[in-house]
Amino acid sequence: MAKLGRELRASGIDVIDLSLGEPDFDTPQHIKDAAIKAINDNWSHYTPVAGFADLREAVCTKLKRDNNLDYKPENIITSTGAKQSLANAIYAVVDNGDEVVIPTPYWVTYSELVKMAGGKVVEIRTSPESGFKCSPAQLEAAITSKTKLFMFSSPCNPSGAVYSKAELEGLAEVFRKHPEVIILSDEIYEYINFVGGHESIAQFSDLKDRIILVNGLSKGFAMTGWRLGYIAANVEIAKACEKIQGQLTSGTCSITQKAAVAALTGNLKPSAEMTEEFTRRRSKVLELIKDIPGFKCFEPEGAFYIFPDVSYYYGKSDGTQTIANAADFSMYLLNTAHVSSVMGDAFGEPNCVRFSFANSMTNIERAWARIKEALAKLK
């Protein structure tokens, strides 16, 4: 969709991008200043595979400050983006034939990495009615003797679902019955939360050694291009991830690492201000879509997406095009309204479409006016 949108834009068409998976903000100045200083101080050589000592210490400081979690540098591995952190973790623990339980909707890379590792994806289907969260009963039913890993995100891309402490406790009760299951918790959207403080499943100390916590700088610090992710895990898993990464990429960018120390230990005001703006945009989007018939829309609790069920429009036509599925729906909006989105099939939910509000308020209002007009043509 991003490629098609760029092609239309290159031909002179005004395409509004609601497929964006990154903040439309600049990296905070104090972080850029730290990077400039690192360049001037000649931090230009190979880095340790797991990351500089001061960066791993900074990750521990952040986890204690924000999440009240106690980790040591030996538990931390930094990588070239949280995607590599996910890959390292999955390759480290998943063998051929292992089952990996993932609630839908999920970021498309989860399932593809599991397949690349030789594992089998077991989906737990959720819905807007359940707040796009899996229940303890669903989790219990999905676990078998072959289950190796459970992985999820909170806040979730694409649904915006955020698990409360009570909801995490419910899942934790199930995991206590199945000590062989490892838990991967993707918390990359931690700071973009509209319902209160972030809750990590790693807070349950009896489960902590079985949890791989994944986070990074892309979303909360507007540092997508800097490529810095990290895991916090037990030493055995951390060492396995370090070995895997050592054969793939080695340590991530030296300049990014020095900037990351400033991000993780510095002033969080820019991150808070960014979330405040996302909160305003979320309110605007929810207001605008009330005027569009047929959308079943869960109100996102975090991240910067809405993920409505659009199946109301399946089978409808404008006389030229008939909408059969989410892919048709997204293509129709791209070609008719010139608004890009992402079809839900990619996230394990074929009745839904993801729209980002990581765009200016002006563009959001223009885009949804176009969408409303285009959908009104479908009968």
* Tens digit of each residue's pLDDT (9 = 90 or more) over 346-379: 899 999 999 999 999 999 999 999 999 999 999 9
pLDDT of residue 234: 98
**Residues 225 and 274 reside in one and the same domain:** no
180-192 pLDDT, tens digit per residue, is 999 999 999 999 9
- For helices 53-67 and 254-265, give the axis angle rounded to 10 degrees: 30
Task: Output the pLDDT for position 219.
Answer: 97
Using one digit for the tens of pLDDT, what is the confidence trace for 16-44? 999 989 999 999 999 999 999 999 999 99
pLDDT at 15: 95
CA dihedral sign of residues 24, 4, 325, 86: negative
Encode pLDDT of 246-282 as tens digits.
Answer: 999 999 999 999 999 999 999 999 999 999 999 999 9
Percent of the chain with pLDDT over 70: 100
More confident residue, 128 or 226: 226
**Residue 149 belongs to domain with CATH number:** 3.40.640.10
pLDDT at 311 over 90: yes
Kindly indicate the confidence band of residue 5, based on its pLDDT and cuts at 50, 70 and 90: confident
Query: What band does 6 get if pLDDT is binned at 50, 70 and 90?
Result: confident
Residue ending a domain, choose from 234, 265, 296: 265
Q: Tell me which residue range forms the domain holding 296.
A: 2-21+270-375
Q: Provide the pLDDT for residue 4.
A: 86
Query: What pLDDT, on a 0 to 100 scale, did the predictor assign at position 177?
Result: 98
State whether residue 186 is helix, strand or coil.
Answer: strand
Averaged confidence pLDDT in the chain: 97
What is the per-residue pLDDT across 62-106, written as a single tens digit (0 to 9) for each?
999 999 999 999 999 999 999 999 999 999 999 999 999 999 999
Rg (CA), the chain: 21
The pLDDT assigned to 379 comes to 94
Peptide bond preceding 105: is omega within 30 degrees of 0, i.e. cis?
yes
Considering its fold, how many domains does the chain have in total?
A: 2
pLDDT band at residue 119 using 50, 70 and 90 as cut-offs: very high
Are residue 117 and residue 188 in the same domain, yes or no? yes
Q: Are residues 243 and 282 in the same domain?
A: no
CB 233 within 8 A of CB 89: yes
pLDDT tens readout for residues 282-304: 999 999 999 899 999 889 999 99
Q: Is 16 in the same domain as 35?
A: no
Which pLDDT does position 291 carry in this prediction? 86
Last residue of a domain, one of 236, 265, 294: 265
Q: Which of 211, 241, 265 is the last residue of a domain?
A: 265
Are residues 67 and 214 located together in one domain of the fold?
Answer: yes
pLDDT higher than threshold 90 for residue 225: yes
Q: Are residues 259 and 325 in the same domain?
A: no
226 and 311 together in one domain: no
- Do 294 and 334 sit in the same domain of this protein? yes
pLDDT the model gives residue 191: 98
Residue 1 confidence (pLDDT) above 90: no
Do 252 and 277 lie in one domain? The reply is no
> CB of 30 within 8 A of CB of 40?
no
Q: Measured at the alpha carbon of residue 307, what is the angle toward residues 306 and 312, in degrees to the nearest 5?
A: 125
Per-residue pLDDT, 3? 82
The pLDDT of residue 198:
96
> Do 251 and 274 fall into the same domain?
no
**One domain for residues 290 and 156:** no
Check residue 76 and report its DSSP letter.
Answer: E
Q: Is the pLDDT of residue 201 over 90?
A: yes
Q: Please tell me the distance from the alpha carbon of residue 224 to that of residue 220, in angstroms, as a whole number.
A: 9
Type and span of the H or E element at 355: strand 353-356
Same domain, 210 and 247: yes
pLDDT at 151 over 90: yes
CATH of residue 14's domain is 3.90.1150.10
